[in-house]
């Protein structure tokens, strides 16, 4: 798999605030990489540096193995924070400017294709200032895919959208991902990341504190949900088994954690040997939100 | 170069404020030339040289550029709008994200300003030429005194450099325009104050005053000479070559500071 992006020791400070403290991330071709973190964790600063509009104090980044060339960005479609277009121009005129910057050919065909794809073709001659927030976001995505780039970088792509708008953008992103594009999404909306990303990097106070596939991030320890007729007896049994740890009581049972190599069958056997018979035993998959909060609050 | 011109053309061709300001310039500057020439001829009689002939060659050239220079402030406001719009709409930042280098983005703006200077200089030249051809009764060459038009071109670039400087530093359109206009008033007040204190030479070297003196009032030298005879307390006008050097120095300085600021600053 080709390495699309690699950063090494990126640092950035604003006066006394250390926004980035030596960031190292790697994104491989075809990944949908979610850069996750609370507000102020350094997500936008990271993307700003990678897109050439913020200067890093130190460290480096490398796109496509070609370093930090301005021309690299012509093969990257990006939406950073807000959609930025000329309000007095319509969608077509705004996209013509993008096409000129990226030195594209067959401009009219490309514009028609992307505007149809984001469902803005009917509003192609309306001025940008008349668009709703959702339409502005969709035009930004149309602009990002105009050059059919290998990489999309989207910063908070569903910011301020209503549920329908969020669903539309998410569908669009997944459609684009199916074409084999590499997508980097920064967001603090965990549901959005969980539903779209294959890989996640979690930022906190300018540092990458976790990185991996979505499953790796969410299943760092094996958590099981168990239940029995006598919950007190079950709790005692769990406490007597050294390789099991009681986590918390939940509706209809309790959560326990085990070592990664212990199977469900083994857990069932160990508890049965303590004289308690399970009525329920299942791997408990946490959602990204609970995992994220655990990691961030550590 | 062609790419940058295309990009800037696509941005500007539908900008209403540009169309309005250019239309105002196109309609009012000939009227201003005619009005100022009439004023000088009718009310400044004692100062007029013997061979003065307002709208005839070669006197039409200094009147044309002097009258047109009033509109340079308006064109400067246009320059401020064009540049600070890029900040307000965050499009300067988006162009860099889309793959344009910061250097090219700045160069695009230089090209716009130079193009504006060329367009309004050419327009003033044609206006002066038409007035001259219509009113001149002698066989004097149409190109005698044409250097005034060249000075006008330098002057427009100088004002644009100042507008560029203000817009880059301030970034907000309304604040930039206000500051740009206030600079003229502020410098005039400071200049008059220090002139009263006997520092007329310092005032002559101040940027906006130096720019304006590239296209002075057509009979300013005669008026100064008359004023000298009466009181001796008159404005100092730098020799043209020195004034050109001073103005070019300021122009380079303003462009340079704006360029370095843009290069260094996060977008």
> What does the pLDDT profile of chain A (298 residues) look like in tens digits?
689 999 999 999 998 889 999 999 999 999 999 998 888 899 999 999 999 999 999 999 999 999 988 889 989 999 998 899 999 999 999 999 999 999 999 999 999 999 998 889 999 999 999 999 889 989 999 999 999 999 999 998 888 778 888 888 888 888 888 888 999 999 877 777 888 889 999 899 999 988 888 877 776 567 788 999 999 999 999 999 998 989 888 888 898 888 777 888 999 999 999 999 999 998 876 667 767 777 777 6
| Model confidence, pTM | 0.83
Residue A180 pLDDT = 87
B264: closest CA of chain A, how far (Å): 8
Average pLDDT over residues B224-231: 65
Average pLDDT over residues B97-103: 92
- Side-chain-side CA neighbours of residue A252 (13 Å): 5
Q: Looking at chain B from residue 56 to 95, which residues have their Cβ under 8 Å from any Cβ of chain A? A: 85, 89-91, 93-95
Q: Does residue B231 surpass a pLDDT of 80?
A: no
| φ/ψ (deg, to 5) at A157 | -65, -20
Within 8 A of A57 by CB-CB distance, chain B residues are none
Residue A285 pLDDT = 67
Which chain A residue shows the shortest CA-CA distance from B11? Answer: A97
Give me the number of domains chain B comprises.
1
A33: closest CA of chain B, how far (Å): 19
Give the C-alpha separation, A139 to A118, whole Å.
7
User: Which pLDDT tens digit goes with each residue over B154-204?
Assistant: 999 999 999 999 999 998 999 999 999 999 999 999 998 998 888 888 999
Residue B169 domain-assigned (yes or no): yes
Contact between A86 and B11 under an 8 Å Cβ cutoff? The reply is yes
- CA distance readout (Å), B145 to B31, B59, B233: 21, 8, 29
pLDDT-based confidence at B140, cuts 50/70/90?
A: confident
Residue of A56, A73, A80, A84 best to disrupt the B interface, most CBs of B under 10 A: A84
Give the C-alpha separation, B142 to B133, whole Å.
8
Percent of chain B whose pLDDT exceeds 70: 95
Give the C-alpha separation, A295 to A248, whole Å.
17
Average pLDDT over residues B252-267: 92
Residue B107 domain-assigned (yes or no): yes
Q: Which CATH class is domain A219-297?
A: alpha beta
Residue A173 pLDDT = 86
Contact between A9 and A60 under an 8 Å Cβ cutoff? The reply is yes
Q: Which of B16, B97, B264 shows the shortest C-beta gap to A88?
A: B16
Is B267 touching A (CB cutoff 8 A)?
yes
Q: Where in chain A is the domain with CATH 3.30.70?
A: 219-297
Contacts of residue B75, defined as CB under 8 A and 6 or more positions apart, other chains included, come to B21, B25, B116, B120, B156, B159, B160
Residue A37 pLDDT = 86
Give the C-alpha separation, B223 to B209, whole Å.
18
Residue A194 pLDDT = 81
Q: Does residue B244 surpass a pLDDT of 90?
A: yes
Nearest by Cα to B210 from B253, B239, B169: B239
Is B113 touching A (CB cutoff 8 A)?
no
Q: Where in chain A is the domain with CATH 3.40.50.300?
A: 3-214
Describe the crossing of helices A133-145 and A91-101 by its angle, rounded to 10 degrees: 30
**Cross-chain residue pair A101–B11, CB shorter than 8 Å:** no
Give the C-alpha separation, A54 to A41, whole Å.
16
Give the C-alpha separation, B75 to B21, whole Å.
7
CA-CA-CA-CA torsion sign (B78, B82, B84, B85): positive
Residue A235 pLDDT = 93
Q: Does residue B227 surpass a pLDDT of 80?
A: no
Nearest by Cα to A51 from A200, A161, A186, A198: A186
Residue B24 domain-assigned (yes or no): yes
Contacts of residue A72, defined as CB under 8 A and 6 or more positions apart, other chains included, come to A63, A64, A66, B99
Give the C-alpha separation, B16 to B14, whole Å.
6
Give the C-alpha separation, A17 to A37, whole Å.
17
Residue B238 domain-assigned (yes or no): no
According to DSSP, the residues that pair with A199 across neighbouring strands are A33, A213
**Cross-chain residue pair A84–B93, CB shorter than 8 Å:** yes
Name residue, tokens 């062609």.
Answer: B2
Q: Which of B14, B90, B99 shows the shortest C-beta gap to A82?
A: B90
User: Which pLDDT tens digit goes with each residue over B54-63?
Assistant: 888 898 999 9
Q: Does residue B68 surpass a pLDDT of 70?
A: yes
Which chain A residue shows the shortest CA-CA distance from B3? Answer: A100
- Side-chain-side CA neighbours of residue A163 (13 Å): 0
Q: Does residue B117 surpass a pLDDT of 90?
A: yes
Residue of B3, B88, B91, B98 best to disrupt the A interface, most CBs of A under 10 A: B98
Residue B158 pLDDT = 96
CA-CA-CA-CA torsion sign (A166, A168, A171, A172): negative
**DSSP code string of B51-90:** T--TTSTTTHHHHHHHHHHHHHHHHHHHHHHHHHHHHHTT
Name residue, tokens 């991902």.
Answer: A177
Range of B98's domain? Answer: 2-173+254-264
pLDDT-based confidence at B229, cuts 50/70/90?
A: low
Give the C-alpha separation, A162 to A131, whole Å.
15
**Cross-chain residue pair A52–B96, CB shorter than 8 Å:** yes
Pairing of strands A244-250, A222-228: unpaired
Nearest by Cα to A104 from A82, A77, A84: A77
Q: Which of A74, A82, A86 shows the shortest C-beta gap to B99?
A: A74
**Cross-chain residue pair B91–A85, CB shorter than 8 Å:** yes
| φ/ψ (deg, to 5) at A220 | -70, -30
Query: What does the block give as tokens for A13?
Result: 């400070």
Contact between A72 and A66 under an 8 Å Cβ cutoff? The reply is yes
Instruction: Tell me which CATH code domain A3-214 carries.
Output: 3.40.50.300
Which ranges constitute the DSSP H helices of chain B? 2-12, 16-43, 60-88, 91-97, 102-135, 147-170, 173-196, 200-204, 207-212, 220-230, 240-264
Which chain B residue shows the shortest CA-CA distance from A95? Answer: B10
Within 8 A of A53 by CB-CB distance, chain B residues are 93, 96-97, 266-267
Q: Looking at chain B from residue 2 to 41, which residues have their Cβ under 8 Å from any Cβ of chain A? A: 3, 6-7, 10-11, 14-16
A221: closest CA of chain B, how far (Å): 40
Contact between A225 and A253 under an 8 Å Cβ cutoff? The reply is yes
Q: Hey, how many other C-beta atoms are within 10 angstroms of the C-beta on A121?
A: 16
Residue A268 pLDDT = 93
Residue B212 domain-assigned (yes or no): no
Within 8 A of A98 by CB-CB distance, chain B residues are 98
B12: closest CA of chain A, how far (Å): 10
Which chain B residue shows the shortest CA-CA distance from A128? Answer: B89
Q: Does residue B233 surpass a pLDDT of 70?
A: no
Residue B218 domain-assigned (yes or no): no
The three-class DSSP label of residue B141 is coil
Residue B163 domain-assigned (yes or no): yes
Describe the crossing of helices B173-196 and B60-88 by its angle, rounded to 10 degrees: 140
Within 8 A of A76 by CB-CB distance, chain B residues are 99
Is A102 touching B (CB cutoff 8 A)?
yes
Residue B208 domain-assigned (yes or no): no
**Cross-chain residue pair A100–B101, CB shorter than 8 Å:** no
Q: Does residue B225 surpass a pLDDT of 60?
A: yes
Who wins on pLDDT, B123 or A297?
B123
Query: What does the block give as tokens for B173?
Result: 């359109």
Contact between B23 and B15 under an 8 Å Cβ cutoff? The reply is no
Q: Which of B11, B91, B266 shows the shortest C-beta gap to A84?
A: B91
**DSSP code string of B223-250:** HHHHHHHHTS-------HHHHHHHHHHH
Residue A292 pLDDT = 75
Buried b (16+ CB within 10 A) or exposed e, A46-83: bbbbbbbbbebeebebbbbeeeeeeebbbbbbbbbebb
Give the C-alpha separation, B246 to A290, whole Å.
67
> Vertex B214, ends B208 and B215: CA angle to 5°?
110
Q: Which of B3, B10, B11 shows the shortest C-beta gap to A103?
A: B3
- Side-chain-side CA neighbours of residue A218 (13 Å): 18
- Report the complex ipTM: 0.87
Q: Does residue B232 surpass a pLDDT of 60?
A: no
Describe the crossing of helices B102-135 and B60-88 by its angle, rounded to 10 degrees: 150
């Amino acid at each position: 798999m080709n390495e699309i992006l690699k950063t090494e020791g990126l640092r950035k400070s604003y006066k006394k605030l250390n926004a980035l403290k030596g960031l190292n991330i790697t994104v491989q071709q075809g990944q949908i990489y979610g850069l996750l973190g609370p507000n102020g964790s350094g997500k936008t600063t990271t993307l700003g540096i990678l897109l050439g509009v913020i200067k890093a104090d130190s460290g480096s980044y490398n796109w496509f193995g070609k370093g930090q060339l301005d021309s690299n960005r012509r093969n990257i479609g990006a939406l950073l924070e807000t959609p930025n277009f000329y309000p007095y121009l319509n969608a077509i005129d705004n996209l013509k400017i993008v096409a000129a910057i990226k030195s594209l050919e067959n401009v009219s065909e490309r514009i028609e294709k992307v505007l149809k794809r984001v469902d803005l073709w009917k509003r192609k001659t309306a001025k940008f200032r008349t668009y709703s927030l959702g339409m502005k976001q969709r035009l930004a995505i149309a602009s990002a895919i105009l050059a059919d780039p290998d990489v999309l970088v989207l910063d908070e792509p569903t910011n301020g959208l209503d549920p329908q708008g969020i669903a539309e953008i998410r569908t669009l992103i997944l459609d684009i991902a199916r074409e084999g594009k590499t997508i980097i999404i920064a967001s603090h909306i965990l549901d959005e990341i969980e539903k779209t990303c294959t890989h996640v990097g979690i930022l906190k106070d300018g540092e990458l504190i976790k990185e991996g596939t979505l499953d790796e991030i969410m299943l760092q320890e094996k958590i099981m949900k168990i239940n029995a007729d006598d919950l007190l007896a079950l709790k005692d049994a769990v406490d007597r088994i050294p390789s099991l740890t009681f986590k918390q009581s939940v509706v209809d049972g309790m959560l326990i954690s085990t070592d990664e190599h212990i199977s469900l069958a083994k857990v069932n056997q160990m508890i049965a040997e303590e004289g308690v018979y399970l009525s329920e035993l299942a791997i408990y998959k946490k959602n990204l939100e609970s995992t994220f909060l655990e990691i961030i609050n550590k | 170069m062609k790419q940058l011109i295309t990009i800037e053309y696509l941005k500007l061709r539908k900008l209403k404020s540009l169309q309005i300001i250019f239309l105002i310039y196109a309609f009012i500057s000939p009227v201003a030339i005619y009005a100022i020439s009439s004023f000088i001829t009718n009310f400044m009689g004692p100062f007029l040289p013997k061979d003065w002939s307002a709208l005839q060659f070669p006197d039409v050239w200094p009147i044309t550029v002097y009258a047109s220079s009033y509109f340079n402030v308006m064109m400067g406001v246009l320059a401020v709008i064009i540049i600070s719009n890029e900040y307000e709409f965050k499009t300067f930042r988006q162009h860099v994200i889309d793959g344009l280098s910061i250097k090219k983005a700045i160069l695009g703006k230089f090209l716009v300003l130079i193009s504006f200077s060329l367009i309004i200089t050419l327009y003033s030249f044609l206006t002066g030429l038409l007035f001259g051809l219509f009113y001149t009764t002698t066989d004097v060459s149409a190109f005698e005194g044409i250097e005034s038009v060249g000075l006008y071109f330098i002057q427009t670039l100088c004002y644009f450099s100042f507008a560029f400087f203000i817009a880059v530093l301030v970034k907000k359109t309304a604040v930039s325009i206000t500051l740009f206009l206030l600079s003229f008033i502020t410098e005039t007040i400071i200049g008059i104050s220090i002139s009263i204190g006997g520092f007329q030479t310092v005032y002559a070297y101040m940027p906006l005053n130096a720019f304006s003196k590239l296209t002075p009032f057509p009979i300013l030298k005669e008026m100064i000479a008359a004023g000298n005879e009466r009181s001796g307390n008159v404005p100092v006008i730098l020799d043209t070559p020195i004034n050109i050097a001073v103005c070019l120095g300021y122009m380079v300085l303003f462009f340079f500071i704006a360029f370095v600021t843009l290069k260094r600053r996060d977008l």
